[in-house]
Structure 1
Amino acid sequence: MPGTVGRVPTPPTAPGPSPVSQVTAAMLGHPWADTVLGPSQQWDPAVRALVDVVLSSPVPMALYYGDQFVMLYNQGYSELIGDRHPDAIGQPAPEVFADLWHTPGVGDVIERVYRRGESFLQRESVLPIDRHLAVTGDHAVFTRGHSPARDSAGRIIGVLTVAAQTTQFTQQLQSLSDFAAALSGTLTLDDVARVTLRYMLHSFDADRVVLAVDDGPAWRMVRRLRGELLDEADERLPPLWRPTGADSPAPAVRTARSGVPYFVGDGQPLRDNAVDRHDQKIRALAALPLRSSVIRGGLSVSYQAPHGWSAAERALLAASAELVGQAAERARRFETQHGTAQLLQRSMLPEQLPTLPRLRVAARYDPGVDGNAAGGDFYDAFLLPTGELGVVLGDVAGHDVQAAARMGQVRAALRALALADPRPDAVLAGLDRLVASLGTETGTQELFVTVAFGVVDSGRGQITLASAGHPPPLIRRCAPDGSATAEYVELPAGAPLGLGCRPRTTTVAFLPGDTLLLYSDGVVERRRQSLTAGLDGLAVAVAGAASGDPRALCAVATGAVSGATEDDVAVLAVEYALRPSRSASMEMPAEPTAPSRVRHWMTAKLTDWQVPEAVIGAAVLCTSELTTNALLHAGTAARVVIDLSAERLLVSVADSGTRGAVTRTQTDTLSSRGRGLGLIEQLSDAWGTDPTVRGSTVWFEILLPPQ
């Protein structure tokens, strides 16, 4: 197999840079612009992250990129391929290993993983290495794991290989290859925590795994226990981090502070800081620091029985901690940039949408794949002097601060124009002149803006719409028998703003039970898929939604078309309710007794509203789980809102997203978190999470039985 054949080089005797720095420098200094990888500064973020993992790993690793399998590898691999290094850097593997590529178990394995996208483990492969054969009289034995490498859009771009000269821990080595590939796709510390806890628990067959990272002067930790019931529902919420003090005795924090790993084979390593019965049973523990320049952290793995930490297992743990440290460092940098960009983005969007007796409005915005930059998608809804409702959704091309600033200008100008003259064609004509003026002022012809604007007249039961190059609006219509259809409004799209747009209006019926959906092109456009397929997929998903509730439809719309999108996604929905809904809210303080108070308040309110008893029980149980999650995760006060219509009960819990210090009465409630979220999945008809300007909102919907 490539990367495991050749003479092991003799260690250098002359003073100079270490072999690791030599190999890394050779890799970074290679003229990649002359290869299919292209200039390093233009590499896809996921590819760049994967290269960082390869070069920083103490375990022999190599990346075979593209159809030519161009080679990029680390110090460990350079030793395995012997005198084929350094000429192998940036060269196609079939040429570097021309004498071996067509041998069974060599090139065919790499090609199969690349073509099929399936991981492959080669256990105890015997291959001749000259030096090993001369010294021992036998061939070297290798275990090699191969995994498909993917870019930010999920496309397979190569093969990642991990190799080691050992006959032990074969499954861990295969998992390590998959682990490195999974970490390369993480963006946030929450993502890193999910992947790390899942891998460490299963690969090492551990009873308890803890990840700790610095949080200002203090720390925060997240753990996973063997047998803990966690499902897909749990993965849709952020991991449950526990805040802890700066001088915490927790092993993961101690090793993070000292930078020194330590191992306990048999004892009571958590005797002084056990938080529950699970910690009290631990007898063996390994704790390793995360090596990073921008984040401090630690990783611990523990067992309830004595456990001998062999040299090979310690090396595997060290390699895993090294990968986690690199991923955590990237995540911390990303979150810093992402937080600034998203705060700018969301601060230019309305914090609250109008609340009307018969018109219910909801919106959702999700950043694209990168998420590092502010985008130009925007939405708005506002009351007009005539008493009608103006709704708009637009897209300013670009993913930078300038695009966000232009988006703010366009949104503000549109509202001002609509308040003066709400006719959609007049509003868009005025915006066209503004955008043209901005383009002239900045001296650019690349200002590309699309907008759909409508006026909802519930008194007349109609909507008047106009579009400037935007995707067609979609209306979900509800029949008397409860069935639903979805139809696109036949609306002349016209030219984008700034190009002499001459918009025309279309007026369609908008009756009780109908829901209007405006969306950006990121909802329906996918690479290697026609726009028609995306539009059809959106219509089918909206028609098949459990209800026409706008919040639920926004969630349905953002996930209607399969595949990753590199664009931002914005959705705005307006429902014309059959009857006015009743709503109530409660401010929940950041106190341990708050969830209990919410349960009593909600039970009394829904009973007074004569909601069926079965619905009350399910709703209170789900709300209790969400309020507990908001209290433990966000650590701040939260706002609980219940909204009851003739068709459904909608409950939302909004927090401000900061991680404060919260006094908990029972830490054992954390172990049931997965089961609680599983109940939400089972008891509600729809649920999801919506980011807001200053935090996040988790909501669920329960349909009511017909009267």
Structure 2
Amino acid sequence: MPGTVGRAPTSPTPAPGPAGVEPEATAVPAHPWADTPLGPQQGWDVTIRVLVDVILSCPVPMALHYGDDFVLLYNQAYAEVIGDRHPDAMGRPAPEVYADLWHAPGVGEVIERAYRHGESFLQKESVLPVHQQGTGEHTVFTRGHSPVRDSTGRIVGVLTVAAQTSQLTQQLQSLSDFAAALSGTLTLDDVARVTLRYALHSFDADQVSFAVDDGPAWRLVRRIRGELLDEADERLPPLWRPVPPDTTAPVVVGARSGVPFFAGDGQPLRDTAVDRHDQKIRSLAALPLRSSVIRGGLAVGYQTPHGWTAAERALLAASAELVGQAAERARRFETQHGTAQLLQRSMLPEQLPALPRLRIAARYDAGVDGNAAGGDFYDAFLLPSGDLGVVLGDVAGHDVQAAARMGQVRAALRALALTDPRPDAVLAGLDRLVASLGTETGTHELFVTVAFGVVDADRGEITLASAGHPPPLIRRTGPDGVATATFVELPTGAPLGLGCRPHTATVPFAPGDTLLLYSDGVVERRRQSLTAGLAGLAAAVAGAASGDPRALCAVATGAVPGATEDDVAVLAVEHALKPSRSAGMEMPAEPTAPSRVRHWMTAQLAEWQVPEAVIGAAVLCTSELTTNALLHAGTAARVEIDLSPERLLVSVADSGTRGTVTRAQTDTLSSRGRGLGLIEQLSDAWGTDPTVRGSTVWFEILLPTG
């Protein structure tokens, strides 16, 4: 057989392996090579002896394919590569070891080519078709195959050297996934959450930090290896820490200077450490974000010395580039979003009337992505007669012009109602105004719908009129305690500006009844009939736990399944069976504030003789809400409690622009973990309402009867 060495009748005593070689590798000399084409070790060609010594002592995966049969001899590193094929592969022909793979592209053919033709061959980023030991994944290698010649110059085998590139390949794939995840972020909180999770796992780091410039100061958020974060924690707004502008923290210094920072070993966070986690960091990379809109930085640290390879530096630079682009988009979005929201909400009433017999609540949710001002509006105001005027309207459009027209219509409606509160007269006057606005702007595309009503609590009735608007809904509770929800039979009429001739309808509005006005965004969905949407709304309102207006607003906005791109506005008015009792407390932005709120609330509810079980549940839920406001909005808040014979309503209103809790973010409340699971277990309804300067989170607990 070409390339074989003479055999001896018996195998010699195995020679000890090289010092420091793993147990599997020390077994190589003990193999009965006399039964293979290599023959006994004392007969090996000097070149082969030297090559085998190199293979066994090398930490890089190496294998010798010897002779026409390609008998395998390899080191410990290669044994780990081929997984469970070791140790049986040692001394056996490679075509037998890889019988299922030998004829696959890039496996046996490259070995045979190097052996038959004496050609060296390099396989870049190829998948070795065996599973890496301990994993279920294929391993990616760059492999070099070189012909091996003996001392006479004959080709006697092929040497394969494999450099694992799976980690780099995985990091590149992770970078692609990271870019995809960042593309879906809207706010800096979103960017920070995605960035910290990616960097911690992709770089297998002990600590990751993300910092951004907030004007006069900086803010920084950090993740540490081993932090126990559950699904709820992952959705919480990140806990940013303010950083002085003159800090020497490498991530901020790098962001200010635009120069990357790399430390292989030392104490890079010694001067700015805030805890033991910072003190343990020995190696750190801090890279600035590349953005013309926002300054920021990304830092990755290890608790052991770490040499930053060229590949790692390039990957970090690419990551920082992606983060910078996402942060720039987020800063622009937050600016536009804040402007649009402020414009929208500034045209809505900051406070609704507080009346002894009429409870009022409203809710507005911007459509599309919440980044544009819309035309939906609501209002409630006292008339000179002492009655209550209520209105909900919709000006078509999602731009500043629509919001401006909405403001004009709302202001005009109030003025007309204060002069002559009859609903048909008010809408007739508005029709003339909208027609005039269309003439002035030279457009006939003004589309405005409005429902307006006057509530007379003394008589227990409501007079309503509509200009192209969805029918009002009234929830009533019968003597048997069963609630029903029916639409008011009211001629719809044409939208304003199109020659509207409104008609009125007067219906009973007894104590215990609740009126609901809503925009078409509540009931309209794509590929679903309006009839189905109206039926779904009526069923949800009738099935609500109570007729409390705030709870009904939340029920109404989620009554019809499916997403809507339209604005959603709801106004609810309840004719209370009995006047309620109310109290409020300003909560400062201090760590002890939730404790003070708990003591105040416990004393107030006990004075009102609320059942102890209700007090305990309400205080616990309020503690969660106040802690959430303190941690994630970072501002002072106002806590209000309202007690009626049927239910206890508690609300916490903050004035922050970050940390708003939405219905879509389930399990996101609390100071780390318990969240909405607690609120939903202990309360009968809950919700969140955006306000002019922040958000209000509330819950209600029904009181036991009898």
Q: TM-score by structure 1 length?
A: 0.70
Q: Aligned partners of 1:169 and 1:539: how far apart in 2? A: 57
Contact kept, 8 Å, 1:231 with 1:678, in 2: the verdict is: no
Q: Aligned partners of 1:185 and 1:676: how far apart in 2? A: 25
Pairing 1:478–2:463 present: no
Q: Aligned residue for 2:360?
A: 361
Q: Aligned residue for 2:672?
A: 673
Q: Aligned residue for 1:395?
A: 394
Contact kept, 8 Å, 1:230 with 1:675, in 2: the verdict is: no
Mean alpha-carbon deviation: is it higher for 630-639 or for 327-336? 630-639
Contact kept, 8 Å, 1:635 with 1:658, in 2: the verdict is: no
Deviation at 1:304, TM superposition (A): 5.8
Q: Aligned residue for 1:559?
A: 558
Deviations 1:619-658 (A, max 9, x none): 2233233323333444433211111222322222222227
User: What SS is found at the alignment partner of 1:192?
Assistant: helix
Contact kept, 8 Å, 1:126 with 1:140, in 2: the verdict is: no
Q: Aligned partners of 1:681 and 1:301: how far apart in 2? A: 39
Mean alpha-carbon deviation: is it higher for 562-571 or for 425-434? 562-571
Q: State the one-letter code of the partner of 2:597.
A: V
Q: 2:123 aligns with which of 138, 141, 145?
A: 138
Contact kept, 8 Å, 2:376 with 2:568, in 1: the verdict is: yes
Mean alpha-carbon deviation: is it higher for 388-397 or for 636-645? 636-645
Q: Aligned residue for 2:376?
A: 377
Q: State the one-letter code of the partner of 2:594.
A: P
User: What SS is found at the alignment partner of 1:168?
Assistant: helix
Unaligned runs of 5+ in 2: 1-103, 108-113, 129-139, 143-164, 659-668
User: What SS is found at the alignment partner of 1:571?
Assistant: strand
Q: Aligned residue for 2:413?
A: 414
Q: Aligned partners of 1:203 and 1:483: how far apart in 2? A: 57
Q: Aligned partners of 1:219 and 1:376: how far apart in 2? A: 37
Deviations 1:378-429 (A, max 9, x none): 1100112222211111111122222222111110111111122222122111
Mean alpha-carbon deviation: is it higher for 349-358 or for 417-426? 417-426
| Gap change, CA 1:363 and 1:167, over 3 Å in 2 | same
Contact kept, 8 Å, 1:141 with 1:167, in 2: the verdict is: no
Deviation at 1:480, TM superposition (A): 4.9
Q: Aligned partners of 2:688 and 2:311: how far apart in 1? A: 42
Q: Aligned partners of 1:304 and 1:643: how far apart in 2? A: 53
Pairing 1:351–2:350 present: yes
Q: Aligned partners of 2:221 and 2:563: how far apart in 1? A: 28
Q: Aligned residue for 2:538?
A: 539
Q: Aligned residue for 2:489?
A: 490
Q: State the one-letter code of the partner of 1:412.
A: A
User: What SS is found at the alignment partner of 1:674?
Assistant: coil
Q: Aligned residue for 1:641?
A: 640
Q: Aligned partners of 2:533 and 2:309: how far apart in 1? A: 53
Q: Aligned partners of 1:449 and 1:673: how far apart in 2? A: 45
User: What SS is found at the alignment partner of 1:516?
Assistant: strand
Structure with the greater relative contact order (CA < 8 A, sep ≥ 6): 1 or 2?
1
| Gap change, CA 1:347 and 1:304, over 3 Å in 2 | same
Q: State the one-letter code of the partner of 1:522.
A: G
Deviation at 1:499, TM superposition (A): 0.3
Contact kept, 8 Å, 1:393 with 1:451, in 2: the verdict is: yes
| Gap change, CA 1:537 and 1:279, over 3 Å in 2 | farther
Q: Aligned residue for 2:687?
A: 688
Unaligned runs of 5+ in 1: 1-124, 144-162, 660-669
Q: State the one-letter code of the partner of 1:421.
A: D
Q: Aligned partners of 2:291 and 2:612: how far apart in 1? A: 54
Deviations 1:135-180 (A, max 9, x none): 954365489xxxxxxxxxxxxxxxxxxx999533565555544433
Contact kept, 8 Å, 1:229 with 1:675, in 2: the verdict is: no
Q: Aligned partners of 1:484 and 1:611: how far apart in 2? A: 25
Q: State the one-letter code of the partner of 1:503.
A: P
Q: State the one-letter code of the partner of 2:694.
A: G
| Gap change, CA 1:625 and 1:437, over 3 Å in 2 | same
User: What SS is found at the alignment partner of 2:123?
Assistant: coil
Q: Aligned residue for 1:56?
A: none
Q: Aligned residue for 2:612?
A: 613
Query: Equivalences for 1:288-687 in 2 at 5 Å?
Result: 288-302=287-301, 312-480=311-479, 482-657=481-656, 672-675=671-674, 678-687=677-686
Deviations 1:424-458 (A, max 9, x none): 12211111111111111222111110111112222
Q: Aligned partners of 2:490 and 2:309: how far apart in 1? A: 69
Contact kept, 8 Å, 1:234 with 1:674, in 2: the verdict is: no
User: What SS is found at the alignment partner of 2:672?
Assistant: helix
Deviations 1:545-571 (A, max 9, x none): 333322222223223333333222222
Q: Aligned partners of 1:392 and 1:242: how far apart in 2? A: 44
Q: State the one-letter code of the partner of 1:167.
A: S
| Gap change, CA 1:575 and 1:228, over 3 Å in 2 | farther
Contact kept, 8 Å, 2:627 with 2:671, in 1: the verdict is: no
| Gap change, CA 1:228 and 1:391, over 3 Å in 2 | farther
Q: State the one-letter code of the partner of 2:565.
A: E
Q: Aligned partners of 1:287 and 1:702: how far apart in 2? A: 50
Deviations 1:293-321 (A, max 9, x none): 10011223445667666655554443333
Larger Rg: 2
User: What SS is found at the alignment partner of 1:470?
Assistant: coil
User: What SS is found at the alignment partner of 1:138?
Assistant: strand
Contact kept, 8 Å, 1:377 with 1:568, in 2: the verdict is: yes
Number of aligned residue pairs? 549
Mean alpha-carbon deviation: is it higher for 351-360 or for 588-597? 588-597
Q: Aligned partners of 1:600 and 1:278: how far apart in 2? A: 36
Q: Aligned residue for 1:46?
A: none
User: What SS is found at the alignment partner of 2:621?
Assistant: helix
Q: Aligned partners of 2:555 and 2:245: how far apart in 1? A: 43
Contact kept, 8 Å, 1:126 with 1:139, in 2: the verdict is: no
Q: CA RMSD in A?
A: 3.4
Q: Aligned partners of 1:701 and 1:242: how far apart in 2? A: 33
| Gap change, CA 1:323 and 1:455, over 3 Å in 2 | same
Q: Aligned partners of 1:436 and 1:164: how far apart in 2? A: 73
Q: Aligned partners of 2:301 and 2:634: how far apart in 1? A: 28
Mean alpha-carbon deviation: is it higher for 226-235 or for 245-254? 226-235
Q: Aligned residue for 1:218?
A: 217
Contact kept, 8 Å, 2:124 with 2:141, in 1: the verdict is: no
Q: Aligned residue for 2:110?
A: none
Contact kept, 8 Å, 1:381 with 1:392, in 2: the verdict is: yes
Contact kept, 8 Å, 1:233 with 1:681, in 2: the verdict is: no
| Gap change, CA 1:557 and 1:220, over 3 Å in 2 | farther
Q: Aligned partners of 1:316 and 1:451: how far apart in 2? A: 56
User: What SS is found at the alignment partner of 1:701?
Assistant: strand
| Gap change, CA 1:494 and 1:607, over 3 Å in 2 | same
Q: Aligned partners of 1:182 and 1:174: how far apart in 2? A: 12
Deviation at 1:694, TM superposition (A): 1.9
Deviation at 1:505, TM superposition (A): 1.8
Q: State the one-letter code of the partner of 1:350.
A: P
| Gap change, CA 1:564 and 1:224, over 3 Å in 2 | farther
User: What SS is found at the alignment partner of 1:617?
Assistant: helix
Contact kept, 8 Å, 2:625 with 2:670, in 1: the verdict is: no
Q: Aligned partners of 2:315 and 2:652: how far apart in 1? A: 42
| Gap change, CA 1:426 and 1:678, over 3 Å in 2 | same
Contact kept, 8 Å, 1:127 with 1:139, in 2: the verdict is: no
| Gap change, CA 1:196 and 1:375, over 3 Å in 2 | same
Q: Aligned partners of 1:332 and 1:366: how far apart in 2? A: 22
Deviation at 1:537, TM superposition (A): 3.3
Q: Aligned partners of 1:643 and 1:350: how far apart in 2? A: 20
Deviation at 1:684, TM superposition (A): 3.0
